[in-house]
Structure 1
């Protein structure tokens, strides 16, 4: 959601945890927020703040929901949203595939024995070393993004005597209704081969000229934070035109169609949240219809949810450091993290919901801006939000829906260590990613 020019009216209850925004197990117990049955005050005391908290049951249940909704299709978790060894184990347990877009993400998956045949390798500029690692591991699919990559992979496959299955990433020209930086299917951007220019068709020809590459399908990803199927329908129709062209020109009927991911989640109460069953039924209907109209057999569908699996189950805990009233405007609430642990507000203009988490309050609402401790005026966690007027230093704030694209985009700006990630379930907390120390920040410096 993009920021509003004016903040909404204050909610009637500043203590409520809206179920569409907060993790499935989030609740208040004796005033404090609990997640997975664990009191946030206990988490802060044991692991420190800032702290990423991940509701394991929430994440696992969303994996199961996607598998059920897309029965008969392939569901691959998009690892770029957030990836660590323990999360890979959950994804494996729940029977999902996995998308990776770098050699590092691939290494994380392989380190815990994730089945390589259920991995798809993405990326707009995969290096020869990354491609070689993918081939050596035997990943199930490699998505090709450029002419150079087709030639590079073809040469590597010849040298290694392997025949990988590949898809062509097609830029369909669909303008997704989302922020410019997360819309990925319009022509003027770095991903894929353009359908309208003929580059996608030429990419198909070049792949078929490579004897060691097996073309099995087309891939499209129209963007992120999408809440309906309209854009997917346009993309599917345009991909069907290319599928027909491939059949007529090359005598080849491709058996797979990957429509990517990008399903939205709620960050604030005004956000619309898609019903994944409705999305799944809609996508299947769209693919069946466009294929019937084109005289094509229905290909096997693949989808790539990331944010919609891990985003809602994540919460970030902060400790309030200063509360500064700027008379006539708003109150600035400074926390012990900021843009180094959540850059989305600065990068995309993202909005979030926050709550006083260490206690309840019946104080009047005050218009607040939750900011970090970095030397940037744009270091904003939540741009405009209502918080209790009795907020003081030492209180804990929880920011909801931070499971996706927060830890994965984290930095060491101003030499702040990256926070730990803790999983919670059934009243037990477990450290799954160790927080950085000063020694970590200095390691590698000469």
Structure 2
């Protein structure tokens, strides 16, 4: 193959030596190609999955999820035992939650973090121990608070002054003492390898540091509440530990002041650990993150002369994100001549638009955040040269893009199956019915077998919610 880089390609995107390759950093470890070039996940060929379930199709590698859960728990528990304390790990259900996934992570020793009544219902339906559930949310309804306290949820994260009284009232009414954490804004904003530290944050979540002590006094004034400690979340898709270092230092300074007036057994540093979406991404290994954060906490506590707290974390994307692959069918292909920036008016380069049968309704992240993804042909291998492509969806929006830029074999054609990796987090969770399109099914694969986790929506399902729809009775003319 003798492929040439396209001038339209982003700087980070290199021409692959082989556009059939499957970089290990991006794909689940179970993904491979058989002798016919067909991609398989968890031992199940993509062509078989599509024949049984259709496209678009979310595929989740169960063993990848379980392995990442074990790896994360082992890393944090081991490193915090090294410094003389304990660690807790909660799976952040907002990344993707189903009863099966809740059971997988619970089986592997993780708690579950939820942020709505619906997520709480899923975790409870899965049989998760309520004591190992944490509940977030900046606007928990009275009903959600009541349900959480009644179910025996281990900790509720207090996000505003009014919630202190609401949670206390529910707990008193139900005869419970409810464990709570206080969400605070450390002023640290982190994304990938960069972070910014400021004095104040303009956001809907949590308390500024200078109002936290008054909030804790209010919590401690209620006999029905038990203050467990502070909680902070500094961002998402974070590479490196520098942001966590600065945030932990600020939180532990406040933690030390709170210890002067009562117990503060825990500190929750949140999640946000990044994954690789493309070969340009270089996420920090979880073992390295755990070691660095543990050492930071140890050093800060020693400097402040305080005991080490139990430290909790809430990873979601780093557990489930890399386990997901979305399969699509190619519909149309269109080459567009694009005028090159900085060149003469007649200097152009071709961009190949490959349109698939899904789009922003099953993966909103590209449109919402400008997220980058990778793509490969899943139904065959090819010896054609690599060509720059943009994978477009079927929706009536110019911004309906699934993969902004990658290289595929130039002979990509209608009917090919495409696979987009790293779609386990915030794809199904953000899915919509835009243009009256049903959300795709989710299947789990493991040991050469596939099983349905969440059934896909049909047009009949969508019409059934429309009160003007009168379905025809079976046998009626």
TM-score per shorter chain, which class?
Answer: over 0.9
Residue pair 2:156, 2:179 contacting (<8 A) in 1 also: yes
What's the counterpart of residue 354 of structure 1? 375
**Correspondent of 1:293 among 289, 295, 303:** 303
8 Å Cα contact 1:179-1:348 kept in structure 2: no
CA contact (8 A) 2:9 2:388 kept: no
Q: 2:270 touches 2:312 (CA, 8 Å); kept in 1?
A: yes
Distance 1:277 1:91 in 2: 18
Say whether the 8 Å CA contact 1:311–1:404 is kept in structure 2.
Answer: yes
Q: CA deviation at 1:350?
A: 0.4
Q: Please, what TM-score do these two structures have when normalized by structure 1?
A: 0.95
Count residues in correspondence: 438
Q: Per-residue CA shift, 1:290-343, capped at 9, x if unaligned?
A: 111111100001111100000001000000000101133301100000000000
Which digits, 9 at most, give the CA deviation of each residue in 1:206-252, with x for residues without a partner?
2112221110111011011011111111111111111122123xx21
5+ long unaligned stretches in structure 1: none
Out of 205, 212, 216, the residue aligned to residue 200 of structure 1 is 212
Distance in 1 between residues matched to 2:199 and 2:89, nearest whole Å: 20
Preserved CA contact (<8 Å) 2:192 2:239 = no
- 42, 52, 61: which is aligned to 1:46? 52
CA distance in 1, matches of 2:272, 2:199: 12
Match of 1:34 in 2: 40
User: Gaps (5+ residues) in structure 2?
Assistant: 1-7, 78-85, 338-348, 468-477
Q: Structure 2 residue aligned with 1:133, among 147, 165, 171?
A: 147
Q: Is the 8 A contact 2:15 2:407 kept in 1?
A: yes
Q: Does 1:211 align with 2:223?
A: yes
Partner SS state of residue 175, structure 1: strand
Query: Matched residue of 1:244: which SS?
Result: helix
Equivalent in the alignment of 2:135: 121
Secondary structure in 1 matching 2:435: helix
Instruction: Trace 1:79-94 onto structure 2 (pairs within 5 A).
Output: 79-94=93-108
Which has the larger displacement, 426-435 or 152-161?
152-161
> Per the alignment, in what secondary structure is the counterpart of residue 273 of structure 2?
coil
Determine if contact 1:366/1:386 at 8 Å carries over to the other structure.
Answer: yes
- Counterparts of 1:163-178 in structure 2, within 5 Å, are 163-178=177-192
Deviation of 1:21 after TM superposition, in Å, equals 0.5
Deviations 1:16-51 (A, max 9, x none): 101111011000112010000100011011100000
Q: For residues 282 and 193 of structure 2, what CA distance do their matches in structure 1 show?
A: 16
**How far apart, in 2, do the equivalents of 1:313 and 1:355 lie?**
16
2:268 to 258, 263, 266: 258
Say whether the 8 Å CA contact 1:333–1:369 is kept in structure 2.
yes
- Summarize deviations over 1:91-125 as a string: whole Å, max 9, x none: 12111100000000000011121110010011111
Larger radius of gyration: 2
1:233 aligns with 2:245: yes
What is the TM-score normalised by the length of structure 2? 0.89
1:40–1:357 CA contact under 8 A, matched in 2: yes
1:13 alignment partner, one of 6, 18, 22: 18
Evaluate the alpha carbon distance shift between residue 186 and residue 221 of structure 1 in structure 2; reply closer, same or farther with a 3 A threshold. farther
Which piece of structure 1 moves more, 373-382 or 149-158? 149-158
Residues 1:55 and 2:68 aligned together: no
The equivalent of 2:331 in structure 1 is 321
- Secondary structure of 2:65's match? helix
User: Within 2, Cα distance between the matches of 1:4 and 1:307?
Assistant: 27
Helix, strand or coil at the partner of 1:210: coil
Question: Structure 1: how far apart are the matches of 2:232 and 2:284?
Answer: 20
Alignment partner, residue 330 of structure 1: 351
- Distance in 2 (CA, whole Å) between partners of 1:184 and 1:272 is 26
1:404 maps onto 2:436 in alignment: no
Higher mean Cα deviation, 203-212 or 338-347?
A: 203-212
1:375 corresponds to: 396
Q: Distance in 2 between matches of 1:100 and 1:407?
A: 16
Q: CA deviation at 1:203?
A: 1.4
Closer, same or farther: CA 186–99 of 1 in aligned 2, 3 Å: farther
CA distance 1:386–1:184, shift in 2 (3 Å): farther
Q: 2:72 is matched with which residue? A: 66
Measure, in 2, the Cα distance between the counterparts of 1:217 and 1:399.
40
Task: Select the residue among 283, 296, 312 that pairs with 1:302.
Answer: 312
Partner of residue 24, structure 1:
29
CA RMSD of aligned residues (A): 1.8
Q: In the alignment, does 2:362 pair up with 1:341?
A: yes
Partner of 2:3: none
Q: Is the 8 A contact 2:39 2:380 kept in 1?
A: yes
Distance 1:298 1:33 in 2: 48
- The one of 210, 216, 224 aligned to 2:236: 224
Kindly indicate whether the alpha-carbon contact (under 8 Å) linking 2:193 and 2:238 is maintained by their aligned counterparts in 1: no
